[in-house]
Structure 1
C-alpha cells in the first residue's frame, strides 16, 4: 500500500465547511490573502513547498558557513588567549571578527526564515487554524515549522488569537476507530533507547568482577557474573522492544493513512498523540 501519511492536513475542507460561521471566516481569509483554503490539494501542495523551502534555508550555505566560522573562531580564540598577554588584544582580534561574522550569518538566516513565515499564504493559513480551533473544528496538529518553533519551543509566528466561542456543528462522517495495536504503539513508542548502553555497562562490570575474583582468588566476587547475565537480559529485552515497536509502527502508519482518507471524506481528525505526530513528521 502506498504510504501517504504526509498527506494528512491539520484540518480538512469538510471540517472547515461544517460550521457556517467558520466557513464564512475561512472565505474571508481567502479573499484577504488571495488563496482558497477549501482546496485541500492546493493547500497540501503549498504547505509542502513552504516547508521544503524552510528546510533548505536551515541547511543552506549560510548555516554551514556560520557553523564553521563559529567552530574555527572558538578554537582560535582559545589558542590566542593562551599566548603572550601583551599581544593578546592583537591576537584575539581575528577570531572575534570571525565569531561576529558567524553571528551575522545566523541572524541573516533567522531574518530570512521570519520573512518566509510571513508569506501571505502562511499568514492566512494560521488564521484559518486559529478560527477552526475557536469554532470547535478538529485540528489534528499544528506543524511546528508553520509557527517557527525552535529548540527553545518559542513560536516566531504563533497562531493569532481568535475570539469566536466554540460550538461549531460536527460533521456526519465518523473517523476510523483507533486499533488496539496503535494504542499499544502510543504506549511504548517512547520507551527504550537505553538498553544497549545499560547492557554494555552491566556486562563490563560483570567481567571486571569475575576478573577480580580470579586475580584475587576471592570466590565471593564471582557473584558479579550475575551483572553480566543481567546485561545480556537487558540486551534481549531491548531487542524485543525494538522489534515490537517496528511491527506496531507499520500499523500506526496504516492508521494515519486511514485518517488521511477519512479526512478527505469529511471526518473530523482530532489532535494526534505525540508518538503519532512524531511518526507523521518522519514522513517515511
Structure 2
C-alpha cells in the first residue's frame, strides 16, 4: 500500500482493473514481461529502485570524471594554442586526447542509462501506461525518467504506440466507492503562483546598484537632478521585499500541496482514481521522489 508521496503511482491497480479490456491488456503485458503490474506495492517499490539506479548513473563517478576531463582538456587546449607553438598539431594533441576521453565517458554514461531503461520491467510498464492512456484510464503522471526525457524534451524510451480495440465496454474508470480528495483552495493558489518569481533578487540588485551609481554620479559631478536615482534604490528594495513575501507564501502553500499529494497517495491505494497532476504539483512531486 502506498504510504507516502514518493509512492504515488502513475496509475493504480483499481484503475487498471476498471475496464475489462485494459485489465486483459495489462495481464498480457505482465505475462510477456514476467511481472504483476496489478501489485501496487511491488510496482511502486520497483519503480523507485529503478529510478534510484538511474540517478546513480547520472551522478556517478564517470560523470564527474568526464566533467573534470572536459575542464582540464579545454584549459590545456587554450593554454597550448595561446603559446603559438611551432608545431600546433603536436601542441594540441594531448589536450585533444583528454577531451576525447571526456567524450567517451559521457557516451558511456548515456549507454548505461539507455541499457537500464530497457529493463524488462520498465519496458512492460511503458506498455501498461500506453494502454491506460489509450483506454482513457486516469494516468496521474508519466515519470520523465521512465521515458528518458532530457533537457531537449526528447524521449530516449518513449511510450509505445497502442490503439484500444474498437467496440466492447465503455472505457475509463467505472464507479468506485472511493473518491479522490477534493483539491483545497490553498493548493489551487499554490498552482497559480508556484512558477512566479525567481527574478526578484537579480532585478532588485540591478536596481540598487544602478541607483547607487546614479547617486555617486550626482555627488561627484554636483548634479542635483541625478539624485533622482535614489528612486531606483527604493524600487530595488521594494522588489526584494516583494520577492521575499512571494517566496514565503510559496513555502507556506507548498506544505499544503505536499499534504494534498499525501492524501492522493492514500486515496489511490484505497482504490480512488487519481487524475493527471498539474505541472506545479508534478514538479513538487519530483522533489519527493
- TM-score (norm: length of structure 2): 0.94
Cα deviation 1:219-238 (Å, max 9, x = unaligned): 22222111111111111111
The offset of 1:5, in angstroms, is 1.4
Tell me how far apart the structure 2 counterparts of residues 126 and 76 of structure 1 sit (CA, whole Å).
Answer: 45
* 1:141 counterpart SS class: coil
Tell me how far apart the structure 2 counterparts of residues 278 and 152 of structure 1 sit (CA, whole Å).
Answer: 17
Q: Could you say which residue in structure 1 is the equivalent of 2:172?
A: 168
Q: 1:168 to 1:75 in 2, by over 3 A?
A: same
Structure 2: give runs of 5+ residues left out of the alignment.
Answer: none
* 1:163 counterpart SS class: coil
Q: 1:189 to 1:169 in 2, by over 3 A?
A: closer
The offset of 1:85, in angstroms, is 4.7
Cα deviation 1:195-236 (Å, max 9, x = unaligned): 111111112222222222223222222221111111111111
User: Is the 1:171–1:266 Cα contact (8 Å) retained in structure 2?
Assistant: no
Tell me how far apart the structure 1 counterparts of residues 174 and 152 of structure 2 sit (CA, whole Å).
Answer: 36
The offset of 1:80, in angstroms, is 1.7
Tell me how far apart the structure 2 counterparts of residues 89 and 129 of structure 1 sit (CA, whole Å).
Answer: 53
The offset of 1:81, in angstroms, is 1.7
Q: Where in structure 2 are the equivalents of 1:154-233 lying within 5 Å?
A: 154-164=154-164, 167-172=171-176, 173-233=178-238
The offset of 1:76, in angstroms, is 1.2
Cα deviation 1:73-124 (Å, max 9, x = unaligned): 1111112222345311111111111111111111111111111100000000
Structure 1: give runs of 5+ residues left out of the alignment.
Answer: none
User: Is the 1:137–1:170 Cα contact (8 Å) retained in structure 2?
Assistant: no
Indicate yes or no: 2:120 matched with 1:116.
no
Q: Where in structure 2 are the equivalents of 1:134-153 lying within 5 Å?
A: 134-153=134-153
The offset of 1:157, in angstroms, is 0.5
* 1:109 counterpart SS class: helix
Q: Could you say which residue in structure 1 is the equivalent of 2:20?
A: 20
Q: Could you say which residue in structure 1 is the equivalent of 2:279?
A: 274
Pick from 242, 252, 266 the counterpart of residue 257 of structure 2.
Answer: 252
* 2:145 counterpart SS class: helix
Q: CA RMSD in A?
A: 1.5
Tell me how far apart the structure 2 counterparts of residues 130 and 171 of structure 1 sit (CA, whole Å).
Answer: 22
Q: 1:82 to 1:207 in 2, by over 3 A?
A: closer
Tell me how far apart the structure 1 counterparts of residues 173 and 49 of structure 2 sit (CA, whole Å).
Answer: 32
Tell me how far apart the structure 1 counterparts of residues 175 and 141 of structure 2 sit (CA, whole Å).
Answer: 18
Q: 1:212 to 1:84 in 2, by over 3 A?
A: closer
Tell me how far apart the structure 1 counterparts of residues 139 and 175 of structure 2 sit (CA, whole Å).
Answer: 13
User: Is the 2:186–2:253 Cα contact (8 Å) retained in structure 1?
Assistant: yes
Cα deviation 1:101-158 (Å, max 9, x = unaligned): 1111111111111111000000000000000100110001111110011111111100
Tell me how far apart the structure 1 counterparts of residues 164 and 48 of structure 2 sit (CA, whole Å).
Answer: 29
The offset of 1:69, in angstroms, is 1.0
Runs of 4+ in 1 over 6 A off after TM superposition: none
The offset of 1:49, in angstroms, is 0.5
Paired residue total = 282
